[in-house]
Structure formats: C-alpha cells, structure tokens
Amino acid sequence: MKLLKSFLLLLLTLVIGSVYLMAQAYFSRSNNQEVAQLGTQSVLVPTSTPYDNPAIDAHGLTPTTGNTRTPTGKPTGQPTRTSTPPQGTPPPNWNSTTTLPPGSTLPSESACASLITRSSFEPRPDNNTANHSVPTAAQIANISPWGPLIGMDAKSDSIRKQITGNFTGTTDEILQWVACKWGIDVNIVRAEAVTESHWHQSTRGDYTNDQTLCPPGTWDGQGCYQSYGILQVKYTFWKNAWPMTRDDTAFSAEFVYGWIRNCYEGWADYLYNQTPSPGYPGYHAGDIWGCVGFWFSGGWYTQGAISYIQTTQNYYNQKPWLQPGF
C-alpha cells in the first residue's frame, strides 16, 4: 500500500510538472510571435508635425530569399523640433503622370530640371537644408556597383552610374525631378513618399538595439535608427550611400527610384526565381507597382509588399498633397 501511494504521488508530480512546462512553452511561444510580428514593423519618427504612419515591414535586400529583414527593439522617444508652417499652394500644372515603358530613352537630368513646374509650394519647410544639399563627387564614386554580386543583371550598373543627387529645390520640385529622370508617373513618387515619410526627409525608421547595424555616429548608447530619408533607405543594405541618404533629399529619392527603375526594366534577376503570393504574376519587366512593393520587401508580391502597394495606391488615388493641412 505504501508503495502504491508513493507511485501515485510520483505520477501526480510528473503530470503537474508536464502541464506547467507545456503552459510555459505556450506563453513563451505566443510572446515570441508577438515580438516577431512587431519586429517586422518600421518605426517611423518624423521630427516635425505628428503623423501616424501605417506599420510597414523593414526594407530588405536579400537576393537569396527575398525575405524582409527583421529589426529589433523599439524607439526610446521622439526628438522634437520647431514646426514651420507650410508655404504656398500646389501649382496647377503638375508634370507627367506617364510611366515610360522598359527600354525607353530617359530624359537627361538637366532636361528634367527645365521641365518641372516651379512654385512656392513647400509643405515641408523643415526639409530646406536637405533639399539644398548635393553629394560630393567622391561620395557618388563610392557607391557600390549594382550587378550579379547582389542578384542584379550586369546592365543594372548603368542605372547606378546615373545617380547624382544633382538637384536642389522645394520638396515637390525634387520629387518631380526624380520622377522625370527615371520616367515614372510623378504621382507614384509623391504617393510613396507619403507612405514612407509623409514627405519629411528627416524621418527615421527601423530602430534597433544592435550597435553593429547602426550608421556611423547614430548610436545613442541604447540603440539607433537604420532607415533614413523621404523614401527610407536602410543603412544595413546601402552602407556606401550613407550619409547622403540622410542628408540629401534629391539623392535619397533618386537612389530609391533608380533601384525601382532597375526592377521595372526587368534587371532584378534574383526575382525571377521567386514565387509570388497566389493570384499575382511572376516577376517581369514593366510592372511598376510590383517594383514599388519590391523596394519595400526585397521580394516579389510578398504579403508585406502587397500591403505596402495597397497603402501607396490609396495615397495615389487620394492625393493628400493636394489637401489642406498636408
């Protein structure tokens, strides 16, 4: 009888211990999933007017898988600065809404400078310094080549070599110039700039506690931001474009759209090996919205890219830059 009681006591102890361990594993997994989900969101921090940006994935360039990179950590607070009222009103004549087909001869940057609509419209006066900054020749020469080593066609480097950032003006004039130079519907460029930064060049995203991922001079003792600029260029993947992506609006914007144009030309070779989400076409030249999503995710019609495309298309249709208080 005593032996039976001991056996029952041991059995009860094992059962209780197993239940405890299973519960602990469940809640641990749930917490980890929540952290992982939050980890795929960009934390965008405009340093002027308050602005709620949709939660979007970290920008990733991953030729082997096309998956997005997962940042870690969370922001420790938002910097502040004095807000300056917007200036002027949108001009009535607003440039081309045509995206030139793959293989088109693109206009020169000087031709584009003469074609944009100049006006006093400046909804983001806080961009003024960055809007009038231009990279040095040495900085431009230091940008890494685009080619087979990063999963691109060898022709891709012909686009990279055209990137100069050699333009100054208002925020919208810069977006017009970028759209013209790369042959993209100007309202796509404007809309994506809303998605990424609400047109604030000073926006920072993808906060991390990993110092090895921080751009030079950005570690604050606890963490840093990895992505910068009006279209959010992530330092982790574009180290040789730093600090121009943070400091120069025209460079930052045209760098992104040079990359998108390269995709649109059909030269992002590693995308041909990717399987899109069900119902979406495989990678091919001439899909501008697919390439907008590619900038976001590093993949081709991933779920994250689709959400990003839909958000940007909503802004494209709504044109918030025409609305009072933008």
Residue 273 pLDDT > 60: yes
Q: Residue 298: CA atoms inside 13 Å, Cβ hemisphere, count?
A: 20
Name, of 31-40, 52-61, 161-170, the range with top average pLDDT. 161-170
The predicted structure's pLDDT at residue 63: 38
Integer CA distances (angstroms), 236 to 60, 75, 200, 215, 227, in order: 9, 18, 21, 8, 8
Residue 17 vs residues 4, 6, 12, 24: alpha-carbon distances, Å: 20, 17, 9, 11
Task: Quote the pLDDT of residue 111.
Answer: 92
Band of residue 96 on the pLDDT scale cut at 50, 70, 90: confident
Residue with tokens 């094992």: 14
Q: Is the pLDDT of residue 230 over 70?
A: yes
* Residues 98-114 pLDDT 10s: 899 999 999 999 999 99
- pLDDT number for residue 81: 39
Best CA proximity match to 266, nearest among 102, 62, 145, 65: 102
Within 10 A of 171 (CB to CB), how many other CB atoms are there?
Answer: 27
Rounded to whole angstroms, the Cα distance separating 90 from 55 reads: 28
Instruction: Return the higher-pLDDT residue of 69 and 295.
Output: 295
Radius of gyration of the chain (CA): 24
Q: What is the mean pLDDT of the chain?
A: 81
Cα gap 78→46, rounded to integer Å:
8
Determine the distance from the C-alpha atom of residue 59 to the mean position of all C-alpha atoms in its chain, rounded to a whole number: 5
Each residue's pLDDT tens digit, 52-63: 333 334 454 433
Going by pLDDT thresholds of 50, 70 and 90, the confidence category of residue 84 is low
pLDDT > 70 in the chain, percent: 71
pLDDT value, residue 123: 96
The predicted pLDDT at position 67 comes to 31
Q: By the 8 A CB rule, do 19 and 11 touch? A: no
Scan for tokens 């495989």, then name that residue: 282
Rounded Cα distance between 323 and 137, Å, is 38
pLDDT 10s digits, 147-165: 999 999 999 999 999 999 9
326 has a pLDDT exceeding 70: yes
Q: What is the DSSP letter of 217?
A: T
